[in-house]
Copies of this chain bind each other. A is one copy, B any other.
Amino acid sequence: MSEKPRRVSRIQKKNREAILAAALQEFSARGFAGTTIDQIADVAGLSKPNVLYYFASKDAIHTELLEALLDLWLGPLRELQAAGDPADQILAYARRKLEMSRDYPQESRLFANEVLQGAPRLASILGGALRELVDEKAALIAVWMAEGRIARTDPHHLLFSIWALTQHYADFEVQVRAVLGDGHDPFAEAQGFLDQLYRRLLRPGAD
């Protein structure tokens, strides 16, 4: 489609990365509309025209960030496999997602910001690739339930619950920390809680 430069110089690579990192920080903290190119430039240590030398527009930066994000975001779900113990598989997925919230909170917030505002730039993916992936994994989970290896429940909403619970600790981190006060490690505690919750929910015979 679009012609990309044959070679990317060291400078180009470094600056593009700096801009994307700065933009991620700002967009995730202030939203797209709340962020100015100048702020991104400042954080990246560049001038505004220089930022626009590397990216055609503010929108282009945002789009590139979102595209990169999607790969990262859907990764853990892809790893949900048929092999192994079903409950362990699901618990491992929840754990991976929680680690993502802990290690990539900015990405989580960028995604949240986007979906919160109607996901205009993600709508096709949500109803397309994501939906197919979710349906596939939900079918796998349904098989496990039919085999009696885990307790019955709605597979789609089971997955939603994992998203909601894990992303909550990134997206609402301020609130969680404010309510818990100092001396807490929200993510460590959350891991224990989630383990417990899904073990009890899925324990064979619980239904």
Contact = CB atoms under 8 A, between A and B. Distances in A.
Interface of A: 29-34, 109, 112-113, 115-119, 123, 126-127, 130-131, 134, 151, 153-154, 156-158, 160-161, 163-165, 167-169, 171-172, 174-176, 178-181, 189-190, 192-193, 196-197, 200-201, 203, 206
Nearest to A176: B160
A63 B190 CA distance: 32
- Copy count, this protein chain: 2
Contacts of A157: 189-190, 193
A171 B119 CA distance: 11
A154 B184 CA distance: 13
A143 B143 CA distance: 39
A94 B87 CA distance: 25
Contacts of A33: 30-31, 33-34
30 contacts: A29-B118, A31-B31, A34-B117, A109-B116, A112-B116, A113-B116, A115-B172, A115-B174, A115-B175, A116-B171, A118-B174, A119-B174, A119-B175, A123-B174, A127-B179, A130-B179, A131-B179, A151-B200, A157-B190, A160-B168, A161-B193, A163-B172, A164-B164, A165-B165, A196-B201, A197-B197, A197-B201, A200-B206, A201-B201, A203-B206
